[in-house]
Structure 1
Amino acid sequence: MTLKTTESSHYQTSEEKKEVLIDVKNVKKYFPIKGGVLKRTIGQLKAVDDVSFTIYKGETLGIVGESGSGKSTLGRLLIRLLDPTEGKIMFQNADITHLKQRQVRPYRQDMQIVFQDPFASLNSKMSVEQLIEEPLIVQGLLNKKERKARILEIIEKVGLRPSDRQKYPHEFSGGQRQRISIARALVLKPKFVICDEPVSALDVSIQAQVLNLMKDLQDEFGLTYLFIAHDLSVVKHISERVAVMYLGRLAEIAPKNRLYENPLHPYTKALLSSIPIIDLDEEVGKMKREKIKLSGDLPSPANPPSGCTFRTRCPQAHDRCAIDRPELIEIEEDHFVACHLYDSN
């Protein structure tokens, strides 16, 4: 099965036509590092470090980066599975940054998540029907008859059979279990869905099926996705815009075609150079460029480098990179990069 390409017809480039769903301003998430006999705080792990961006209604924003870059932590912050250390998170013009969990519950109907491992995220002791019905019960939505009708509807939408609702997760393949996870996330009819590596645990032959399903469901229900992945090819197919994270910070964010065809940040260039070229006649062949091999390992977020965190691996680093932290600035319309190579100040 081939992947459906994501058309950007519903993603408007004109500021007047964009409707902001989520606005993130200077968000940080630091985890305390405990040590010693008394387990005192001796440091902080900077998982997400001063991140700002906007997600527009109906679009898919892809987030890419190496393991440990903070992608999944950022996703959990947006739907308040984690409390931010600093910053502000606006959802539909409402500030949800500091809401307590009981105050967040009403927003759960509009914000859902699909995890990487469907087997680990599904309770093996519950049937498919119970798994999908649980969010409706927690939110106090619909009576029993209406819930059953909604369950049957969403099961059909994700490509499962009505008889599957009586089965248990272990009776399904990985791809089918992920369809159950998607059904569970969408049964509340949310507006925003975090997709945290939703196909990385699946066979390659199944990945396209699940991605095409997610795209069809997005078009049908008007969903907005934050799609977290390490596979650059997958992100390119499903996203309208792509953000690149490195060590808890955003390095670059731009419309997908512009970012893949003209990456500006040295880290983005290195990531894209690693994409294997199979057929030079295909579109991906246009991105052929010399492979860039980064030196060294990803630094620890507990002790990130001063200034630009990428400087210790950057082939173009200079003296200023060790002193000043580059800000995310707009180089051209909708194309932002955090790199001193493009900062004239």
Structure 2
Amino acid sequence: MATVEEKQTVQTDQETILKVEDLKKYFPIKGGILKRTVGNVKAVDGVTFDVKQGETLGIVGESGSGKSTLGRMILRLLEPTEGKVLFEDHDITHLSHKKMRPFRKEMQIVFQDPFASLNSKMSVEQLIEEPMIIQTDMGKKERKKRINYLLEKVGLRASDRLKYPHEFSGGQRQRISIARALANNPKFVIADEAVSALDVSIQAQVLNLMSDLQEDLGLTYLFISHDLSVVKHISDRVGVMYLGRLAEIAPKHAIYKEPLHPYTQALLSAIPDTDVDLEKEKVKLEGDLPSPSNPPSGCAFRTRCPMAHDKCAEVRPELQHMGDGHYVACHLYDEEQ
């Protein structure tokens, strides 16, 4: 059976834009009069994957699974505790602010709440122009031309550049956020719950917009969401996170048709089905998500898994290749190695 390391070697032969290797983020817990470190919140606990040029990798999981922390570490908005982040074969994990600056143009993020992420005191023109002023030597006329182009590209009018965020609906504000993220023509964009705050009909419009932009501009996405139906619409591959770890990662069709991990099966069974006559087996999870400050030994999912056995409490399962790019971290498949 192939290991995670073998997986990375295989995919290196293709165009790989991002590699994440054993990435961890521990937040210290302080206690006592001297405020000494008495423990750690293991928000991300050893995650490895890569992203190919031009694809969309969806990352899903419950709240508290470490999805957003993972995205912020990749962009160096949070410093990793351990592990590596490689962008186009450049190790950016510990680069200084000055050396990281050129990569900022290539890597951008669209946040969940566009009203909070957009400065309400700045006009749309100022919001989109700001990253150009900071990171490029474009002249004012050139910047204005690009602002008009971007606004029309995301489905707004060039005249909207003179307005302020509060004058737009939630969906329109998210389009402005996308235009701002694309200001310096990046290669890689992280969408962190980018449509979760929007109405369902608006979600579809924004997702279609992102797909069109990806095709037109050659973008690569890391799409973070708790909604598996949304991820299914836009992703090429899907990674499922649980308590800071990857439980499963595979091409989209494999995840949704033949999920292997009990956690993935439970998530998919919870999606409402429009066909009321279809009998779908429900997988019920017992208990709540354990605390990341005190995760279970062995498999982090074992305390809620209906198929857990003794080995699950003793040994942490590693991602193993089940064929056709499908990887799962579960002892149920150890005999198939």
Indicate the TM-score class for this superposition, using the shorter chain for normalisation: over 0.9
- Give me the whole-angstrom Cα distance separating, in 2, the residues matched to 1:331 and 1:214: 31
Tell me the TM-score normalized by structure 1. 0.92
- Give me the whole-angstrom Cα distance separating, in 1, the residues matched to 2:269 and 2:223: 21
Q: What is the deviation of 1:102?
A: 2.2
- 1:161 is matched with which residue? 157
Letter of the aligned partner of 1:335 in structure 2? H
Q: Deviations over 1:265-307 (max 9, x none)?
A: 00000000001110379xxx7xx63111100000000000000
- 1:1-345 matches, within 5 Å, as 18-279=14-275, 289-344=280-335
- Give me the whole-angstrom Cα distance separating, in 1, the residues matched to 2:220 and 2:63: 24
- Give me the whole-angstrom Cα distance separating, in 1, the residues matched to 2:17 and 2:293: 32
Cα root mean square deviation, aligned = 1.4
Q: What is the deviation of 1:16?
A: 8.4
- Give me the whole-angstrom Cα distance separating, in 2, the residues matched to 1:121 and 1:321: 41
Q: 1:40 to 1:185 in 2, by over 3 A?
A: same
- Give me the whole-angstrom Cα distance separating, in 2, the residues matched to 1:294 and 1:75: 27
- Give me the whole-angstrom Cα distance separating, in 2, the residues matched to 1:42 and 1:15: 40
- 1:3 is matched with which residue? none
Letter of the aligned partner of 2:134 in structure 1? V
Letter of the aligned partner of 1:342 in structure 2? Y
- Give me the whole-angstrom Cα distance separating, in 2, the residues matched to 1:16 and 1:28: 22
Please identify, of 252-261 and 96-105, the stretch whose mean Cα deviation from structure 2 is larger. Answer: 96-105
Task: Give the secondary-structure state (helix, strand or coil) at the position aligned to 2:112.
Answer: coil
Structure 1 gaps, min length 5: 1-13
- Give me the whole-angstrom Cα distance separating, in 2, the residues matched to 1:248 and 1:156: 39
Q: What is the deviation of 1:205?
A: 1.7
Percent identity, please.
Answer: 71
Q: What is the deviation of 1:39?
A: 1.8
Count of aligned residue pairs for this structure pair: 327
Task: Give the secondary-structure state (helix, strand or coil) at the position aligned to 2:79.
Answer: coil
Runs of 4+ more than 4 Å apart: 14-17
Tell me the TM-score normalized by structure 2. 0.94
Letter of the aligned partner of 2:108 in structure 1? Q
- Give me the whole-angstrom Cα distance separating, in 1, the residues matched to 2:72 and 2:13: 28
Please identify, of 28-37 and 42-51, the stretch whose mean Cα deviation from structure 2 is larger. Answer: 28-37
Task: Give the secondary-structure state (helix, strand or coil) at the position aligned to 1:343.
Answer: helix
Letter of the aligned partner of 1:208 in structure 2? A
Q: Deviations over 1:9-64 (max 9, x none)?
A: xxxxx958731000111110111111222222111000000110010000000000
Letter of the aligned partner of 1:166 in structure 2? L
Structure 2 gaps, min length 5: 1-9
Q: What is the deviation of 1:187?
A: 1.1
Task: Give the secondary-structure state (helix, strand or coil) at the position aligned to 2:322.
Answer: strand
- Give me the whole-angstrom Cα distance separating, in 1, the residues matched to 2:261 and 2:293: 23
